[in-house]
Amino acid sequence: MHRILLVDDEYLEREVLKMILAKKPDLYQVVGEADNGEDALRFVKSHPVDIVIMDIKMPRMTGLDAARLMKEYSKKIGVILVTAYNDFEFAQHAVKYSVDDYLLKPTRPESIFEALASTIKKISLYSEKTTSPWTQAEDVFMGLCMKGDYMGGKKFLQKVREARFESYEKEREVLKKLLSCLLKMAESFRIEVEKSLKTKVDEQLKGSQTKDQYFDILELIFEEIFEVIIRDKRVDYGEEMTYALQYIEKNLTRTLTLESAASYMNISPHYFSKLFKGQVGENFIDYVTDRKVERAKELIEGTDHPLSAIAFELGFNEANYFSKVFKKKTGMTPSNFRKAVEERRSEEQELLRKSQPLGVKWMI
Protein backbone atom coordinates (compact mmCIF):
# COMPACT_ATOMS: atom_id res chain seq x y z
CA MET A 1 0.00 0.00 0.00
CA HIS A 2 1.47 3.30 -1.11
CA ARG A 3 0.63 6.40 0.94
CA ILE A 4 -0.37 9.41 -1.17
CA LEU A 5 -0.54 13.11 -0.27
CA LEU A 6 -2.72 15.25 -2.57
CA VAL A 7 -1.82 18.92 -2.89
CA ASP A 8 -3.98 21.37 -4.83
CA ASP A 9 -5.55 24.69 -3.87
CA GLU A 10 -8.81 23.64 -5.54
CA TYR A 11 -10.96 21.29 -3.47
CA LEU A 12 -12.70 19.74 -6.50
CA GLU A 13 -9.35 18.86 -8.07
CA ARG A 14 -8.42 16.87 -4.97
CA GLU A 15 -11.81 15.16 -4.91
CA VAL A 16 -11.42 14.05 -8.52
CA LEU A 17 -7.99 12.65 -7.77
CA LYS A 18 -9.37 10.74 -4.79
CA MET A 19 -12.07 9.25 -6.99
CA ILE A 20 -9.46 8.09 -9.49
CA LEU A 21 -7.16 6.59 -6.83
CA ALA A 22 -10.12 4.86 -5.17
CA LYS A 23 -10.27 2.60 -8.24
CA LYS A 24 -7.17 0.81 -6.91
CA PRO A 25 -7.67 0.70 -3.12
CA ASP A 26 -5.29 -2.22 -2.76
CA LEU A 27 -2.39 -0.14 -4.12
CA TYR A 28 -3.01 3.46 -3.07
CA GLN A 29 -4.19 5.15 0.11
CA VAL A 30 -4.74 8.91 0.36
CA VAL A 31 -3.28 9.78 3.77
CA GLY A 32 -3.58 13.54 3.57
CA GLU A 33 -4.52 16.66 1.65
CA ALA A 34 -3.16 20.19 1.50
CA ASP A 35 -4.14 23.31 -0.43
CA ASN A 36 -0.70 24.94 -0.52
CA GLY A 37 2.98 24.00 -0.66
CA GLU A 38 3.83 25.15 2.87
CA ASP A 39 1.22 22.90 4.50
CA ALA A 40 2.27 20.04 2.23
CA LEU A 41 5.89 20.40 3.32
CA ARG A 42 4.88 20.40 6.98
CA PHE A 43 2.77 17.30 6.41
CA VAL A 44 5.57 15.20 4.90
CA LYS A 45 7.82 16.16 7.79
CA SER A 46 5.34 14.90 10.37
CA HIS A 47 3.60 11.97 8.60
CA PRO A 48 4.80 8.97 6.59
CA VAL A 49 4.22 9.71 2.89
CA ASP A 50 5.44 7.73 -0.13
CA ILE A 51 4.24 9.90 -3.03
CA VAL A 52 3.04 13.49 -3.37
CA ILE A 53 0.82 14.47 -6.30
CA MET A 54 0.97 18.24 -6.39
CA ASP A 55 -0.28 21.08 -8.53
CA ILE A 56 2.44 23.51 -9.54
CA LYS A 57 0.48 26.76 -9.20
CA MET A 58 -0.66 27.39 -5.62
CA PRO A 59 -0.71 30.26 -3.13
CA ARG A 60 2.02 30.81 -0.50
CA MET A 61 4.43 28.32 -2.07
CA THR A 62 4.47 26.91 -5.60
CA GLY A 63 4.53 23.19 -6.21
CA LEU A 64 8.02 23.49 -7.67
CA ASP A 65 9.35 25.20 -4.53
CA ALA A 66 7.66 22.61 -2.33
CA ALA A 67 8.99 19.74 -4.47
CA ARG A 68 12.55 21.02 -4.16
CA LEU A 69 12.29 21.25 -0.36
CA MET A 70 10.63 17.84 -0.10
CA LYS A 71 13.42 16.24 -2.11
CA GLU A 72 16.00 17.95 0.07
CA TYR A 73 14.20 16.59 3.11
CA SER A 74 13.92 13.04 1.76
CA LYS A 75 14.83 11.68 -1.66
CA LYS A 76 12.69 8.65 -0.92
CA ILE A 77 9.50 10.71 -1.24
CA GLY A 78 8.18 10.48 -4.78
CA VAL A 79 6.92 13.74 -6.28
CA ILE A 80 4.59 14.04 -9.27
CA LEU A 81 3.87 17.61 -10.33
CA VAL A 82 0.83 18.67 -12.26
CA THR A 83 0.98 21.52 -14.77
CA ALA A 84 -1.54 22.99 -17.15
CA TYR A 85 0.68 23.31 -20.15
CA ASN A 86 3.75 21.72 -21.64
CA ASP A 87 6.41 24.26 -20.84
CA PHE A 88 10.06 23.44 -21.57
CA GLU A 89 11.36 25.76 -18.87
CA PHE A 90 9.12 24.08 -16.29
CA ALA A 91 10.36 20.67 -17.40
CA GLN A 92 13.95 21.85 -16.94
CA HIS A 93 13.24 22.97 -13.39
CA ALA A 94 11.38 19.75 -12.62
CA VAL A 95 14.35 17.65 -13.72
CA LYS A 96 16.78 19.90 -11.86
CA TYR A 97 14.99 19.38 -8.57
CA SER A 98 14.59 15.61 -9.07
CA VAL A 99 10.84 15.60 -9.61
CA ASP A 100 9.97 11.99 -10.45
CA ASP A 101 7.27 12.71 -13.01
CA TYR A 102 4.83 15.38 -14.15
CA LEU A 103 1.39 15.33 -15.66
CA LEU A 104 -0.21 17.74 -18.08
CA LYS A 105 -3.81 18.84 -17.53
CA PRO A 106 -6.22 17.66 -18.70
CA THR A 107 -5.14 14.10 -18.00
CA ARG A 108 -6.74 10.65 -17.86
CA PRO A 109 -6.73 8.07 -15.05
CA GLU A 110 -4.42 5.73 -16.99
CA SER A 111 -1.82 8.53 -17.24
CA ILE A 112 -1.99 9.04 -13.48
CA PHE A 113 -1.51 5.33 -12.80
CA GLU A 114 1.40 5.19 -15.24
CA ALA A 115 3.09 8.12 -13.48
CA LEU A 116 2.51 6.47 -10.11
CA ALA A 117 3.98 3.16 -11.29
CA SER A 118 7.02 4.92 -12.74
CA THR A 119 7.55 6.93 -9.56
CA ILE A 120 7.22 3.86 -7.32
CA LYS A 121 9.89 2.12 -9.37
CA LYS A 122 12.25 5.10 -9.04
CA ILE A 123 11.92 5.49 -5.28
CA SER A 124 12.17 1.73 -4.69
CA LEU A 125 15.43 1.60 -6.67
CA TYR A 126 16.74 4.53 -4.67
CA SER A 127 15.85 2.79 -1.41
CA GLU A 128 17.65 -0.38 -2.49
CA LYS A 129 20.83 1.42 -3.58
CA THR A 130 21.03 3.97 -0.78
CA THR A 131 22.30 3.26 2.69
CA SER A 132 21.40 5.84 5.28
CA PRO A 133 24.43 7.96 6.22
CA TRP A 134 23.09 8.00 9.77
CA THR A 135 23.18 4.23 10.31
CA GLN A 136 26.15 4.57 12.65
CA ALA A 137 25.39 8.09 13.90
CA GLU A 138 25.20 6.91 17.49
CA ASP A 139 28.64 5.27 17.38
CA VAL A 140 30.29 8.26 15.68
CA PHE A 141 28.80 10.81 18.06
CA MET A 142 29.48 8.67 21.13
CA GLY A 143 33.10 8.24 20.03
CA LEU A 144 33.60 11.99 19.70
CA CYS A 145 31.98 12.71 23.04
CA MET A 146 33.83 10.05 25.00
CA LYS A 147 37.14 11.37 23.64
CA GLY A 148 36.13 14.77 24.97
CA ASP A 149 36.17 16.22 21.45
CA TYR A 150 33.98 19.27 22.00
CA MET A 151 34.75 20.78 18.59
CA GLY A 152 34.10 17.52 16.77
CA GLY A 153 30.89 16.85 18.66
CA LYS A 154 29.59 20.34 18.02
CA LYS A 155 30.31 20.09 14.28
CA PHE A 156 28.61 16.68 14.16
CA LEU A 157 25.48 18.07 15.83
CA GLN A 158 25.44 20.97 13.36
CA LYS A 159 25.66 18.57 10.41
CA VAL A 160 22.76 16.55 11.77
CA ARG A 161 20.74 19.74 12.36
CA GLU A 162 21.26 20.78 8.71
CA ALA A 163 20.74 17.29 7.28
CA ARG A 164 17.77 16.22 5.16
CA PHE A 165 16.69 12.77 6.33
CA GLU A 166 15.18 10.13 4.08
CA SER A 167 12.08 9.98 6.28
CA TYR A 168 10.48 11.59 9.31
CA GLU A 169 10.85 8.31 11.18
CA LYS A 170 14.62 8.25 10.52
CA GLU A 171 14.94 11.82 11.79
CA ARG A 172 13.21 10.93 15.08
CA GLU A 173 15.29 7.76 15.38
CA VAL A 174 18.56 9.69 15.04
CA LEU A 175 17.43 12.35 17.53
CA LYS A 176 16.58 9.70 20.09
CA LYS A 177 19.97 8.07 19.57
CA LEU A 178 21.75 11.37 20.11
CA LEU A 179 19.81 11.97 23.30
CA SER A 180 20.69 8.47 24.48
CA CYS A 181 24.37 9.16 23.74
CA LEU A 182 24.36 12.35 25.77
CA LEU A 183 22.71 10.72 28.76
CA LYS A 184 25.11 7.75 28.63
CA MET A 185 28.02 10.15 28.37
CA ALA A 186 26.82 12.15 31.36
CA GLU A 187 26.48 8.96 33.38
CA SER A 188 29.95 7.80 32.32
CA PHE A 189 31.55 11.07 33.43
CA ARG A 190 29.34 11.20 36.54
CA ILE A 191 27.74 14.45 35.47
CA GLU A 192 24.22 15.17 36.65
CA VAL A 193 22.10 16.59 33.82
CA GLU A 194 19.25 18.79 34.98
CA LYS A 195 16.12 16.67 35.20
CA SER A 196 14.05 19.50 33.75
CA LEU A 197 16.11 19.37 30.54
CA LYS A 198 15.76 15.60 30.18
CA THR A 199 12.03 15.84 30.78
CA LYS A 200 11.68 18.61 28.20
CA VAL A 201 13.54 16.59 25.57
CA ASP A 202 11.37 13.54 26.25
CA GLU A 203 8.24 15.66 25.85
CA GLN A 204 9.50 17.14 22.58
CA LEU A 205 10.32 13.72 21.14
CA LYS A 206 6.82 12.46 21.95
CA GLY A 207 5.23 15.40 20.13
CA SER A 208 5.50 16.66 16.57
CA GLN A 209 7.87 19.55 17.13
CA THR A 210 10.45 20.62 14.58
CA LYS A 211 13.97 19.28 14.41
CA ASP A 212 15.33 22.71 15.40
CA GLN A 213 13.27 22.67 18.59
CA TYR A 214 14.67 19.26 19.50
CA PHE A 215 18.18 20.43 18.81
CA ASP A 216 17.90 23.56 20.92
CA ILE A 217 17.43 21.30 23.93
CA LEU A 218 19.92 18.63 22.87
CA GLU A 219 22.58 21.30 22.46
CA LEU A 220 21.80 22.67 25.92
CA ILE A 221 22.53 19.24 27.39
CA PHE A 222 25.65 18.87 25.21
CA GLU A 223 26.97 22.26 26.39
CA GLU A 224 26.15 21.49 30.01
CA ILE A 225 28.10 18.23 29.91
CA PHE A 226 31.14 19.72 28.20
CA GLU A 227 31.12 22.68 30.57
CA VAL A 228 32.07 20.23 33.32
CA ILE A 229 34.39 18.05 31.21
CA ILE A 230 36.52 20.95 29.98
CA ARG A 231 36.43 22.92 33.22
CA ASP A 232 37.53 19.94 35.31
CA LYS A 233 39.77 18.35 32.63
CA ARG A 234 37.98 15.02 32.94
CA VAL A 235 39.43 13.68 29.69
CA ASP A 236 43.04 12.73 29.04
CA TYR A 237 43.72 14.35 25.65
CA GLY A 238 47.32 13.18 25.53
CA GLU A 239 48.53 16.33 23.78
CA GLU A 240 48.73 19.20 26.25
CA MET A 241 47.68 21.90 23.79
CA THR A 242 44.44 20.04 23.01
CA TYR A 243 43.17 21.15 26.42
CA ALA A 244 43.72 24.77 25.42
CA LEU A 245 42.05 24.39 22.02
CA GLN A 246 38.98 22.77 23.57
CA TYR A 247 38.89 25.50 26.21
CA ILE A 248 39.04 28.22 23.56
CA GLU A 249 36.23 26.67 21.52
CA LYS A 250 34.01 26.29 24.58
CA ASN A 251 34.58 29.90 25.62
CA LEU A 252 34.34 31.76 22.29
CA THR A 253 31.24 33.56 23.51
CA ARG A 254 32.86 34.64 26.76
CA THR A 255 35.68 36.94 27.71
CA LEU A 256 38.69 35.03 26.46
CA THR A 257 42.20 36.26 27.20
CA LEU A 258 45.69 34.84 27.05
CA GLU A 259 45.82 35.11 30.84
CA SER A 260 42.58 33.17 31.39
CA ALA A 261 43.70 30.40 29.04
CA ALA A 262 47.12 30.23 30.70
CA SER A 263 45.46 30.07 34.11
CA TYR A 264 43.31 27.18 32.90
CA MET A 265 46.48 25.41 31.74
CA ASN A 266 48.21 26.17 35.07
CA ILE A 267 51.22 27.77 33.40
CA SER A 268 52.49 31.33 33.08
CA PRO A 269 51.04 33.54 30.31
CA HIS A 270 54.50 34.03 28.81
CA TYR A 271 55.26 30.31 28.62
CA PHE A 272 51.75 29.52 27.38
CA SER A 273 52.08 32.10 24.61
CA LYS A 274 55.34 30.56 23.37
CA LEU A 275 53.97 27.02 23.67
CA PHE A 276 50.79 27.91 21.81
CA LYS A 277 52.64 29.60 18.92
CA GLY A 278 55.04 26.69 18.63
CA GLN A 279 52.39 23.95 18.57
CA VAL A 280 49.45 25.67 16.85
CA GLY A 281 51.44 27.71 14.34
CA GLU A 282 49.97 31.14 15.08
CA ASN A 283 49.76 33.33 18.13
CA PHE A 284 46.90 33.07 20.61
CA ILE A 285 45.16 36.34 19.68
CA ASP A 286 45.14 35.63 15.94
CA TYR A 287 43.81 32.12 16.47
CA VAL A 288 41.01 33.28 18.75
CA THR A 289 40.09 36.11 16.37
CA ASP A 290 39.95 33.70 13.42
CA ARG A 291 37.65 31.38 15.35
CA LYS A 292 35.39 34.25 16.40
CA VAL A 293 35.09 35.49 12.82
CA GLU A 294 34.26 31.99 11.57
CA ARG A 295 31.60 31.71 14.25
CA ALA A 296 30.27 35.16 13.30
CA LYS A 297 29.93 34.06 9.67
CA GLU A 298 27.91 31.04 10.76
CA LEU A 299 25.60 33.21 12.86
CA ILE A 300 25.16 35.86 10.15
CA GLU A 301 24.34 33.24 7.54
CA GLY A 302 22.26 30.96 9.73
CA THR A 303 20.27 33.41 11.88
CA ASP A 304 18.54 36.78 11.64
CA HIS A 305 20.21 38.08 14.81
CA PRO A 306 21.17 41.78 14.66
CA LEU A 307 24.86 42.27 13.85
CA SER A 308 25.33 44.19 17.10
CA ALA A 309 23.94 41.21 19.04
CA ILE A 310 26.30 38.83 17.23
CA ALA A 311 29.24 41.12 18.01
CA PHE A 312 28.26 41.23 21.69
CA GLU A 313 27.72 37.46 21.82
CA LEU A 314 31.28 36.91 20.57
CA GLY A 315 32.83 39.24 23.10
CA PHE A 316 33.19 42.38 20.99
CA ASN A 317 32.13 45.34 23.12
CA GLU A 318 31.88 47.69 20.14
CA ALA A 319 30.09 46.91 16.90
CA ASN A 320 32.46 49.15 14.93
CA TYR A 321 35.50 47.25 16.16
CA PHE A 322 33.79 43.95 15.31
CA SER A 323 33.12 45.26 11.80
CA LYS A 324 36.78 46.26 11.33
CA VAL A 325 38.03 42.87 12.51
CA PHE A 326 35.52 41.03 10.34
CA LYS A 327 36.45 43.04 7.26
CA LYS A 328 40.16 42.53 7.85
CA LYS A 329 39.67 38.76 7.96
CA THR A 330 37.06 38.35 5.21
CA GLY A 331 37.46 41.38 2.95
CA MET A 332 33.91 42.61 3.60
CA THR A 333 31.93 44.13 6.45
CA PRO A 334 29.40 42.02 8.38
CA SER A 335 26.52 43.96 6.78
CA ASN A 336 27.90 43.41 3.28
CA PHE A 337 28.45 39.73 4.05
CA ARG A 338 24.81 39.37 5.16
CA LYS A 339 23.65 41.31 2.08
CA ALA A 340 25.63 38.96 -0.17
CA VAL A 341 24.05 35.94 1.53
CA GLU A 342 20.55 37.42 1.12
CA GLU A 343 21.16 38.27 -2.54
CA ARG A 344 22.36 34.75 -3.27
CA ARG A 345 19.27 33.27 -1.64
CA SER A 346 17.02 35.73 -3.45
CA GLU A 347 18.52 34.74 -6.80
CA GLU A 348 17.96 31.08 -6.02
CA GLN A 349 14.32 31.75 -5.12
CA GLU A 350 13.77 33.84 -8.25
CA LEU A 351 14.85 30.94 -10.43
CA LEU A 352 12.11 28.85 -8.87
CA ARG A 353 9.32 31.34 -9.54
CA LYS A 354 9.46 31.54 -13.30
CA SER A 355 6.95 28.79 -13.94
CA GLN A 356 3.41 30.16 -13.57
CA PRO A 357 1.03 27.78 -15.42
CA LEU A 358 -2.72 28.30 -15.59
CA GLY A 359 -5.11 25.86 -13.90
CA VAL A 360 -7.20 23.49 -16.02
CA LYS A 361 -9.75 20.93 -14.82
CA TRP A 362 -9.10 17.21 -14.80
CA MET A 363 -10.65 14.97 -17.42
CA ILE A 364 -12.27 11.78 -16.09
At 239-271, the pLDDT tens digits run: 889 999 999 999 988 878 999 999 999 999 999
Mean pLDDT, residues 63-74: 83
Whether 2-130 shares its CATH topology with 282-352 is answered no
Integer CA distances (angstroms), 287 to 31, 150, 176, 284, 329, in order = 54, 17, 35, 5, 12
Listed residue (121, 3, 112) closest to 52, CA to CA: 3
Residues 6+ apart with CB under 8 A from 292: 252, 314, 315, 316, 325
∠ CA 75-78-81, nearest 5°, is 120
Most confident segment among 133-147, 247-261, 346-360? 247-261
**Domain ranges in the chain?**
2-130, 131-236, 282-352
CATH of range 2-130; options 3.10.20.30, 3.60.21.10, 3.40.50.720, 3.40.50.2300: 3.40.50.2300
pLDDT, average across residues 200-215: 63
Dihedral of alpha carbons 314, 315, 320, 326, sign: negative
Give the CATH architecture of domain 282-352: Orthogonal Bundle (1.10)
Q: How far apart are CA 201 and CA 206, in angstroms?
A: 9
pTM for this one?
A: 0.56
> Which range has the top average pLDDT, 76-80, 196-200, 348-352?
76-80
